[in-house]
Amino acid sequence: MAFAVPDKLAAQAAAYVRGRPGYPEALEDWLRTDLGLGAGKLAIDLGSGTGKFLPRLLATGADIVAIEPLEAMRAHLTALHPGVDARAGRAQAIPLPDNSADAVICAQCFHLFAQPEALAEIRRVLKPGGALGLAWNIRDSTAPWVMRIIDIMAPYEDGTPNYESGAWKKQFPAEGFTPLSEQRFPNPHTGAPENVIIDRVLSVGMIAKLPRGEREWVVARLCEVIDRTPELAGKAEITFPNATFAYSCRKIA
């Protein structure tokens, strides 16, 4: 197969929209039961990115404030969800008052700011008894072709924190919070191979910042995997296997 590589790293945000999976409907029950969200509640989507997690939050009926530091990501977020209150901010400086939020949710991002300063800021904006929710979509590497994709990306690992390293868990149990609880949900992602495989890889920061020629080489390798894998080759739609891991704890009153 052929694939045109975008010219600019700003295209990472667009690739994120096309290539990253959403979150399973089962998380709506998790948000309502484990995090206590519903009508009249206020939730902060911290590190909201392009708003991938917003449909699940909006389904609870809670009021939402989306916090995202990157302008390019916020532009996609507001285009896709024009009714959502989207603000510039970061985990260490959340633009909301003390004790104002019923829940703070970090979807696909907590590993990037897993530090005491961020947890102290999250604790500041949470009401007593308010919930912190963490969620990640993770590739299911038991499929051999998924492992081949991971192997293509592996040489570009640059030390950027990620979920798989487990380093983020060193912050827990966190001061002022109850212990973490964990749940796992299946989350297959169905779509065109150029989206669910190639765009997904191009949306990863360590790949997005490569020189154009190196990104073209990565894409060529991904196309080889697609063309040489019987369950992928020539298919208009494929399913990428994922699991969603969800964690929660509460601010101690």
Domains delineated in the chain? 11-250 (3.40.50.150)
pLDDT tens series, the chain, 253 aa: 655 555 544 567 787 878 889 999 999 999 999 999 999 999 999 999 999 999 999 999 999 999 999 999 999 999 999 999 999 999 999 999 999 999 999 999 999 999 999 999 999 999 999 999 999 999 999 999 999 999 999 999 988 899 999 999 999 999 999 999 999 999 999 999 999 999 999 998 889 889 999 999 999 999 999 999 999 999 999 999 999 999 999 999 8
- Amino acid 19: pLDDT: 82
pLDDT at 9: 46
First CA to last CA across the chain, in angstroms? 56
Say what angle helices 71-80 and 11-19 make with each other, to 10 degrees.
40
d(CA 215, CA 194): 14
Q: CA 202 to CA 10: how far, in whole Å?
A: 11
Can you give the pLDDT at residue 113? 97
Residue pointed to by tokens 């500041």: 124
The C-alpha atoms of residue 115 and residue 250 are separated, in whole angstroms, by: 17
pTM here is 0.91
**In angstroms, rounded to a whole number, what is the distance separating the alpha carbons of residues 167 and 169?**
5
What beta strand segments (E) does the chain contain? 42-46, 63-67, 85-87, 101-107, 126-139, 181-186, 189-191, 238-240, 242-250
- Beta strands 126-139 and 238-240, pairing class: unpaired
- Count how many residues are written for the chain: 253
